[in-house]
Structure formats: C-alpha cells, structure tokens
Chains A and B, each alone.
Chain A
Amino acid sequence: MHIIESGNVAAATGVKLARAQVIAAYPITPQTPLTEKLSEFVESGQLDAQYIPVESEHSAMAVCIAASTAGTRAFTATSANGLLYMNEQLHWAVGARLPIVMCVANRGIGAPWTVWNDHQDSMAQRDVGWIQIYANDHQQIIDSVIKAFRLAETVSIPVMVCYDGYLLSHTYMPFDRPEQSDVDAFVPAFMPKNFLDPENPGNFNTVTLPDIRPGVDGVMEPGYIEIRHNLHQDLRAALESYEDIDRDFKKAFGRGGTPFVEEYRCDDARFVAVAIGSLSYQLRDVVDIMREDGIAIGVMGVQMYRPFPDEAIAQALSGKECVIVLEKALSYGNQGPLYGDIKSALYRLEDRPVIHNYILGLGGREIKTQQLLYALTESCTKPQAIEDTPRWIGLKLQE
C-alpha cells in the first residue's frame, strides 16, 4: 500500500513490520521522530515490543546488546554525536556477533555544533565491523530496514541503515508499505543458537587469550585473533548473503536488484560520478543536463559501504576514463574515505581510470545543482592524473 510519510516514519514502519522485540533509544536530532514513532507503535499496542527510553546512546546500545544476547530482536537509532558516544558499544556488539539493526539519520559532528546533514558520523564508524547500508530515498529506507534484519540474523553481524538527516529523515515522499504477512514470510522469527539461558548456562564475551586454548572437554577453541579473523571472513561473505537476500526481496516485493551500487546512465558513459545517499539522486539531474550537452557521463550510488563491494565497483568502473567521487565526509589529513576505497578497488584493473575527489555539503552546506554541474564538467573536460588532496565544492573562504 502506498503512503506518503517522512523518512523517519518509513524507517519506523520497517522496524514495526520486521517485528523488533526490544527497542532502546535516546533522543538526538534528526533521528528523534523515528523513535517517537516507535514509542507510539509500542504504547498503542501496534507493535508488541519493549521500548526502553534509556538515559544515553551508550546505554541504548547496551540494552540492544544484552537483549540480543538474551535471544530477542533488538533495534536502536541515532545520529552524529550519539553514534560516536556509542562507539565502544558498536565494537562490542559486532565482536559479540549480535544481529542488532540500527538506523543512523546522518548528521555532521561537533565541534562546532551542527544538526545538519553530512556523512561524517557513520563514515567515522566504518572500521568497527558493522555492515553499513545507505538508502537514497524513502522506499529504500523501509526496504533496507526489512532486509537489514534478515541480513544481520543470517550472518550474525549487526547492520547500520544510514540515510541523510533532514534531506530524507524529515522530507515526505510516497513509498510502498509492504504487507505484514509478506514481511513475516521474508523475515522469519529470530532463533539464535546460543543465548542467555539458565537452563543452558554459558559465559558470553569472556576474557580471551592471545593464543588458542582447550576447553574442559580438551577441544581447542579460538584465540582473539581467530575470532577477529572469522568476523572479517564472515563480513566478506556477507556480500554474497546480501545479494541473495536482495534477490529474494525482489521476488517477494518487486523492488531491488542492485544490492551494492545503483547505476544511472553508466552503460555507455566515459565518466562516472560516484556518491552515497540522496546526493547520488541529485546527481542524476546533473547527468541529464550534461548528457544534453553531449558529455557521456553517468552516476553510481554506493548503497553498501561495509563490507565494501570492491568487485562490483571495479566492474562497474572498468573502462571508464574518469571517476569523480563526491563525498560528504573526510578522512582528515588525507582524503575522502569513499575515494580511498574506490581507488583501492580500482587497483586491480590494468587500465585504471583517472579519479577525482570532491568534498561538499559538510554540516549541511547546500549543494547546488549548478555547482555540481560546474565541478563535473571540469573533471570531464580536464581529466588529470590522481590528485593528492580533494577539491572542495561550494567553499566561501573569506580573504
């Protein structure tokens, strides 16, 4: 059924349809309307879950970690500094291999305070080991949330579903709300193998030595490095799992089919702009204008960022003349994080495209189509070798 609602409500609706059992959250803009909606679902009886109004984001993730360890489906949501406050817990959740799902309404990070959108918050968490999916519109938000629960529980790794603060979280768009029965069939009940159970006691997240060690039965158990190695291998394997899940989703709901990257007019393109989130859709307008001017350009939106779909990206960009990576995040002192990752993915190609990096929109700076048009035209008409430092769009530096 099609409804018109905000991105945050799309996310909340996905969480409700996936039947999250324990929800904990702390208010932070621009995530707040999502958790307000969930508290309403729970209080009104539309969602049979425990809603815990915790006193911090650190505690929100603590509740999710414990509830998930005890065998229930757990969800939280946050933004910006709230996500950073959770950092220790993010590592803990994935180290404990808990299939928690979290929405991140992307927002810039203080200091100085900003409430507006960029991607620095979730990008700063790219190495914690969580799966990161980025939605480009409201339909992708609700669909990604539903797929995220199934993915998390398939691979026992938590999943972050990220979407642009305000640009998506607070704007209203039409989207299809899947039927409950279809979602129930798609996301089966959470049945973990091991959980906190007085009938079958176990000690979870025990201190683990550097080397392997036998249990009381004499069987060797992994040391810390084996446990971490296995996490990495399982994350890499999650790429395939997500491809399967996305295929199943398309069968059931008729949407999807592009789990990793979403290409627009890329087939015959000599140039490809790359971006994450709603910016990749904004860039479609720019591509259309440039195509009218005879520039063979396309745009690729990256939807899964961790695990990094390097093969899919290298394949999509193989044979292109110039790749232009536009980012709302920066690895300070180096370059855009996506830019670095794409360069590394392209390294395997014999004939590597030229690649440019633009930083834009930090702290919600408005991104004008005209500016994008100018930057992309520059890159397409004067493709140079790889540059050491990113170019900036829309800076207003005063002399």
Chain B
Amino acid sequence: MAEKTTTLNLTEEEFVHPGNRACSGCGLSIVYRMGLKALGKNTILVVPPSCLTVLQGLYPVASTKLPCVNVTFASTGAAATGVRAAMKVLGKENVNVVAWAGDGGTGDIGIQALSGACERGEEIIYICYDNEAYMNTGVQRSGTTPQGVLTTTTPIKGKLQMKKDVPAIIAAHGIPYVATASAAFPLDLYDKVKKSTTISGPKYIHVHTPCPPGWGFESRFTIKVGKLAVETGLFDLYEIENGTFRLTGPSQRLLEKERRPVTDYFATQGRFKSLDSEMVRKIQQQVDAKWAAYKSAAV
C-alpha cells in the first residue's frame, strides 16, 4: 500500500457542502466527506434512494460538488455501467465512475445489478455504506442487519437471522479489489478509496457506518461505537486484492491484541437491548471462532 494518509497530509479540498441534511452525528457524513476527498474532482456519482439522497439536498439545491445522477433503487450497478459506457464513447476514460449506495440498496434490492456489473468486469468503484438497516425509511431490518438487532420490523425479538456477508458475496465474483472500512477509521477509508482509483476493473468497498437514531446512541458517540465494532472483532477491516485476503490497520493489530468482549459494543446501543445472555454467548463464540481462523491463516 502507498504511504498512509495522516491528518497532516490529508487534502483540504472539500466536495461536500457543510450544513447538509444529514442527521447529527451521521456516520455517512464522515464516510461521504472522506470518500469524496479521496476520489477527487474528476468523478461522477451514481446514487440510489438512501440517506445519501436526503443528505444531497432538495432540488434545486445540492450539497455535493460533484456531478451526480440519482437512479432507481435496484439499478445502481447497471446505472454506473451506463455512465462508464458513455465515458468510453466520449473518450473520458480517466473519470472515476462511483456508485454509492446503502446496505439495503446494495445487498438486498441492488444485488442483482451489482452482481451483473461485477461479472462483466465494469470499470467502476462501488461504495456501500452499511448502517445495518433501512434507515432512510425509518429503521426497518435489512439483509445486513446483525442478529438480535431491534428494528421497526423486528420490534420485539430482534432480528433472528445472521447478517448477510455482502463483501464476501462480491469477492466471490473474483473482482480485483474488495475492501471493508469504517466511519470510525476515516483515514483508512480514505486510503482504500484512493487505492481503488488506481486499480482496473470493478472495485467494492463496504463501509461500516454507525447511525445514532437507528442504532440508539447519542450522536457524540459515532466514532466510539464504530471503533468498538472493530475492537470487539465484530466488524473487520480487510482488503481482498486479486483474491488475497489480509486484515488491515486496527483489525490487523487485533491479531496480536486481546479483543474486547462483544458486550462492550452491545452495551453502547439501544438496538441490542433484547439480546439475552445465551444469544450474547453464541455471538461471542462465533466471533472467537472467526478470529481463531484469522490467526491460523496468519501463521
């Protein structure tokens, strides 16, 4: 990887206007701001319905300084393909074509179009900000909502099923670059997005994105909650480059360190309050098993 970006050498150029319509403490605000800094001016965005549609503003005002086409929910991967096709026709090959969607728009309704684009090897960057439910419509469960989480459509028992592993599904397409990142580690995210602009073929970055109103925590704790997800080993930061998996940054360091118990993370958010001790024990076991596998692979 190229030299790591720090707060000292991070570009001061901004592509998101301040005072946009994001909620207080919005994880996406951080992710979007850092992602666009990494992408730079020569970028076209493709956005399906999501919190980002709201963040972007209401006609005739927009909060993004980059060209953006809003598209239908299921069509993001295909729409990005269309922009890229047009760029090829017009001889503007060096433009970054970037799809930016939520977890429901990516892993649920948008997975077919995304899978098609990956299979065709489209020259696009696809960024999924995963706030682990349909937040824009009022916190309904999605395929990427973790087990046990209370949402407005899993209001009593919490979600019974496991979180869908979307980056693994995308990686199974054999695309050259799949990475995960977190709103709580913005410079790591920046470097991954930056790197994706230098790789040819489809690139997919899955970003864990805490959501204060949806997850039930105070808006000042966005970074803290995001960090805990990584430090407890629940959400892992990694890259899969040409098929080779490696943990990155804080998750890589976790191989050598004691992980914090998952309860530290669960205790910070209202959405986990229906978890009983048996379920917590099972989740801890799953996390331990996953990390045991990471460690044996790293040896």
Residues of A participating in the B interface, judged by any CB pair closer than 8 Å: 21-22, 24, 49-50, 52-56, 58-72, 74, 88-89, 92, 196-198, 200-209, 213-216, 221
Contacts and interface: CB of A to CB of B under 8 A. Distances in A.
Given A56-B116, A66-B69, A208 B59 contact: yes
Given A196-B44, A202-B67, A74 B82 contact: yes
Interface string B64-84: 111111111011011111110
Contacts of A53: 120
Nearest to B21: A207
Given A89-B72, A202-B67, A204-B70, A65 B79 contact: yes
Interface residues of B, number: 45
Given A70-B90, A221-B60, A204 B68 contact: yes
Point out which of A58, A59, A62, A202 has the most chain B C-beta atoms below 10 A from its C-beta.
Answer: A62
A50 B93 CA distance: 13
A72 B113 contact: no
9 contacts: A59-B116, A62-B82, A65-B69, A66-B81, A67-B86, A70-B86, A203-B57, A203-B67, A216-B60
Point out which of A207, A216, A221 has the most chain B C-beta atoms below 10 A from its C-beta.
Answer: A207
Given A66-B46, A66-B79, A22 B113 contact: no
A54 B71 CA distance: 16
Interface of B: 41-44, 46, 53-54, 56-62, 64-72, 74-75, 77-83, 85-90, 95, 112-113, 115-116, 119-120
Given A59-B116, A66-B81, A213-B60, A204 B69 contact: yes
B67 A198 contact: yes
Given A205-B71, A206-B56, A62 B83 contact: no
Given A69-B69, A198-B42, A62 B59 contact: no
Given A59-B77, A59-B112, A201-B68, 8 more contacts: A62-B75, A67-B82, A198-B41, A198-B67, A201-B64, A202-B68, A207-B54, A214-B60
A196 B83 contact: yes
A22 B85 contact: yes
Nearest to A73: B89
Contacts of A206: 56-60, 62, 70
Contacts of A65: 69, 71, 75, 79, 82
Contact of A203 (B62, B79, B86, B119): B62
Contacts of A68: 82, 86
Contacts of B62: 202-203, 206
B88 A50 contact: yes
